[in-house]
């Protein structure tokens, strides 16, 4: 099982710390996130028709290029696929140049994205009128000039908090707490509320920053994993990671103190927790955005479907663990003491998670719920 859960490259600087207004250094790089993000693509694809409509509604007047930005683009496979669809709808509407902007944290591994954007010296978007740029920075800050953007979007990213609202979370590794079926830990109501407040403040920062960048009438699509009724995108995956980490706590390889301070700084929102913030972000007199539409939904997870078809537990465990390794590894690694065997310990945690899943797949059912809203920048 050793190599199955291991990224094939170590091109990332493993010693980096998160930048300001970020709590992760990014996804596992070297192509690993791109290879293990099919569920995120399906969650994104679900709302792509909203972008088609948004493009039909954006103002294309003014000087300069028509600019469209994706915040939290990671290694770029999904980001380029989204922008390809948008570009296809924008080009027939204007003779102007079009710019795609792909943004993520400075510590993100952008190398695959740079390679995808201009294969053979031409734009991946298939037109000489399309130019692309990559911008490093926290999406909770303004990253682009005032009134320079026509369409902004973010997918599966705004759940990552800008700061850690509590210094320890002693009973579990995830703010929303364990699944009700597994119940392998606890998070106090007080702590949970601190995360909910932070998540709210983050949406407000994100909206305020985008409000400055967007032209009047510009559109903003915010999509993210979350909670829909009783379905929470944290259930299963974090129960499994928590169980795996606790085995190392019990063996003494991870101290109780390190476990208490370690958590994944991500929050699963309900749709209302996203949309309620919109009315609160104002210029003092009126809201900066209005809501065109919003939705809570669930997508079918590809590795679940595959497992139902072939019953291949080893394959299921590999796909399942690699999926959540891609977005949890950086934070876990940074939570562990910087010892010579830290990388090996991280590998063994994910290997152990794979073994636990092979042994008891029914303990860790995973479903992917998501929420989304499409906004217009008020004039």
Ligand X SMILES: C[S@@+](CC[C@H](N)C(=O)[O-])C[C@H]1O[C@@H](n2cnc3c(N)ncnc32)[C@H](O)[C@@H]1O
Selected range binding ligand X among 16-24, 182-190, 275-283, 299-307, rule: CB under 6 A: 16-24
By CB under 6 A, residue 104 contacts ligand X: yes
Rounded least distance, CB 332 to ligand X, Å:
15
- Considering only 5, 160, 320, 366, the residue that binds ligand X (CB under 6 A) is 160
- Could you give the C-alpha distances from 108 to 4, 90, 94, 100, in angstroms and in order? 23, 28, 33, 18
Rounded least distance, CB 273 to ligand X, Å:
18
Nearer to ligand X, 143 or 254 (CB): 143
Give me the phi and psi of 132, to 5 degrees please. -125, 150
Counts of helices then strands in the chain (DSSP H, E): 12, 9
Selected range binding ligand X among 86-94, 155-163, 301-309, 346-354, rule: CB under 6 A: 155-163
Please, how many CA atoms are within 13 Å of residue 130, restricted to the half-sphere of its CB?
A: 24
Rounded least distance, CB 71 to ligand X, Å:
6
Q: Long-range contacts for 340-348 (Cβ within 8 Å, ≥24 apart)? A: 342/14, 343/10, 343/14, 345/248, 345/253, 345/254, 347/2, 347/5, 347/6, 348/248
Instruction: Mention every residue, 6+ apart, whose C-beta is less than 8 A from residue 326.
Output: 27, 28, 32, 33, 36, 37
- Considering only 5, 140, 267, 368, the residue that binds ligand X (CB under 6 A) is 140
Selected range binding ligand X among 55-63, 71-79, 144-152, 295-303, rule: CB under 6 A: 71-79
Selected range binding ligand X among 20-28, 185-193, 244-252, 357-365, rule: CB under 6 A: 20-28
Q: Contact positions toward ligand X, by CB under 6 A?
A: 21-22, 24, 26-27, 37, 40, 44, 71-74, 78-79, 104-105, 108, 138-140, 155-157, 160, 162, 327
């Amino acid at each position: 099982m050793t190599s199955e859960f291991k990224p094939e490259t170590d091109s990332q600087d493993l010693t980096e710390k998160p930048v300001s207004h970020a709590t992760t250094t990014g996804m596992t790089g070297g192509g690993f996130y791109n290879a293990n993000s099919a569920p995120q693509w399906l969650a994104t694809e679900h709302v792509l028709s909203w972008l088609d409509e948004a493009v039909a509604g954006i103002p294309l007047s003014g000087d300069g290029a028509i600019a469209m930005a994706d915040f939290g683009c990671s290694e770029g496979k999904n980001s380029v696929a989204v922008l390809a669809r948008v570009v296809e709808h924008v080009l027939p509407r204007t003779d102007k140049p079009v710019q795609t902007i792909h943004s993520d944290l400075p510590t993100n591994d952008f190398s695959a994205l740079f390679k995808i954007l201009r294969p053979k010296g031409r734009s991946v978007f298939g037109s000489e009128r399309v130019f692309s740029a990559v911008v490093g920075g926290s999406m909770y800050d303004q990253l682009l000039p005032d009134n320079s953007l026509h369409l902004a979007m973010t997918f599966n990213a705004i759940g990552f908090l800008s700061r850690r609202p509590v210094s320890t979370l002693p009973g579990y590794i995830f703010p929303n707490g364990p699944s009700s079926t597994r119940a392998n830990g606890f998070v106090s109501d007080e702590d949970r509320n601190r995360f909910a407040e932070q998540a709210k403040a983050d949406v407000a920062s994100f909206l305020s920053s985008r409000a400055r960048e967007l032209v009047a009438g510009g559109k903003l699509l915010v999509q993210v994993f979350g909670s829909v009724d009783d379905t929470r995108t944290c259930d299963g995956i974090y129960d499994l990671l928590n169980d795996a980490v606790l085995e190392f706590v019990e063996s003494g390889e991870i101290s109780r103190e390190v476990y208490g301070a370690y958590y994944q700084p991500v929050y699963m929102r309900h749709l209302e927790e996203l949309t309620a913030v919109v009315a609160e972000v104002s210029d003092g007199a009126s809201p900066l955005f209005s809501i065109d539409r919003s939705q809570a939904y669930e997508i079918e997870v590809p590795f679940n479907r595959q497992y139902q078809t072939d019953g291949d537990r080893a394959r299921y465990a590999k796909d399942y663990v690699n999926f959540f390794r891609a977005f949890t590894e950086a934070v876990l690694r940074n939570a562990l003491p910087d010892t010579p065997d830290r990388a090996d310990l991280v590998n063994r945690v994910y290997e152990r998670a794979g073994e636990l899943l092979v042994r008891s797949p029914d303990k860790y059912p995973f479903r992917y719920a998501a929420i989304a809203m499409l906004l217009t920048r008020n004039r």
